[in-house]
Amino acid sequence: MKLLNIWHQDKHHLGVLEGDQIRIVQAWPSLDEFLASGQGLETLNGDGPRVPFDEADIRPALLNPGKIICIGLNYRKHAIETGAAIPTVPVVFSKFSDTVAAHQEVVEVPPGTEQLDYEVELAIVMGRRAYQVPEERALEPVFGYTIANDLSARDLQHRTSQWLLGKNGPQFMPMGPAVTTADEIPDPNGLSLRTYRNGELVQDSTTADMIFSCRELVAYLSHYMVLEPGDVILTGTPAGVIMGYPQDQRKWLAEGDHLRMEIEGLGELENTFRNPE
């Protein structure tokens, strides 16, 4: 099942993507509230108004995520291209919930950076509380998966040893369009993922290349913190980011750029960039 948030008739709704149509579930105003309720997917069956996907006003896959926990340098080739050491434990940082943006939302390049970069990432959406979960059971509390773009202002990210400033600008985490439930993704570490910039393929990899698998990440994080329904884990990006190019070949994101990110089984996330008005 693919679930998303949609703006329809002047309010938010939870929608179920069925083919090229979105079925509105009128009992729930958002996927966020459905996750918080603990209700089962069977409660989403039934009929309801339908909206064509291409005509829908799609909102971020989660309107107000709980914790957004990010993993850096989790693909070996990406670590190498950035000149970083291969991590021996997960590199953990965070984004704020107000950074989320939607599929097809126009993202403004903030005036405080001259080095805006893209990062396609598999995002894990938690469905149940998890604390100190053993690795062999670590995927059980996962609700589903979506696509995220961990936009990064590299000049701000590397101003100090802490990455936070460069990761939390407005609209710095487009995510969606939908959350695909875990039952449809039996192996999250067997998915292809790609980024196209203005039609050119710039990232092309598979989640099998993660240094720390999804299962390992959930277990590791839950050992130190409580994971709650609606929390999101960004699992890292593969090689091909702008920062990985030689300095004289780096063309940072700018007005008019268009990104299309795709992950096998999850769909496509698209955004265009513009300068502030």
Q: What is the pLDDT of residues 146-171, one digit of tens each?
A: 999 999 999 999 999 999 999 999 99
pLDDT at 277: 81
Task: Compute the half-sphere exposure of residue 116: CA atoms within 13 Å on the CB side of its CA.
Answer: 23
Determine the Cα–Cα distance for residues 171 and 99; give it in Å rounded to an integer: 5
**Phi then psi for 268, rounded to 5 degrees?**
-135, 140
Determine the Cα–Cα distance for residues 178 and 214; give it in Å rounded to an integer: 19
In a 10 Å sphere around its CB, with 0-12 CB exposed, 13-18 middle and 19+ buried, how is residue 105 labelled? middle
- Mean pLDDT in residue range 69-90: 94
Strand partners, 23: 16, 50
Read off the tokens for 125: 């959406």
pLDDT band, residue 46 (cuts 50/70/90): confident
Determine the Cα–Cα distance for residues 155 and 137; give it in Å rounded to an integer: 39
Residue range 96-132, pLDDT digits in tens? 999 999 999 999 999 999 999 999 999 999 999 999 9
Q: How many residues does the chain have?
A: 277
Listed by start position, the domains of the chain span: 2-58, 68-274
Percent of the chain with pLDDT strictly greater than 70: 100
Please report, to the nearest 10 degrees, the dihedral formed by the alpha carbons of residues 268, 191, 180, 150 taken in order. Answer: -60
Query: Strand 50-52 vs strand 21-25: parallel, antiparallel, or unpaired?
Result: antiparallel
Is the per-residue pLDDT at 178 higher than 90? yes
Residue range 191-246, pLDDT digits in tens? 999 999 999 999 999 999 999 999 999 999 999 999 999 999 999 999 999 999 99
| The amino acid at 10 | D
Determine the Cα–Cα distance for residues 222 and 193; give it in Å rounded to an integer: 26
Q: Rg of the chain's alpha carbons, rounded to an integer? A: 18
**Phi then psi for 47, rounded to 5 degrees?**
-110, 170
Cβ atoms of 123 and 234 within 8 Å: the answer is: yes
Is the Cα torsion angle 212, 215, 219, 221 positive or negative in sign? positive
CATH architecture assigned to 68-274: Alpha-Beta Complex (3.90)
Determine the Cα–Cα distance for residues 237 and 126; give it in Å rounded to an integer: 19
Choice among 54-58, 77-81, 251-255 with the minimum mean pLDDT: 77-81
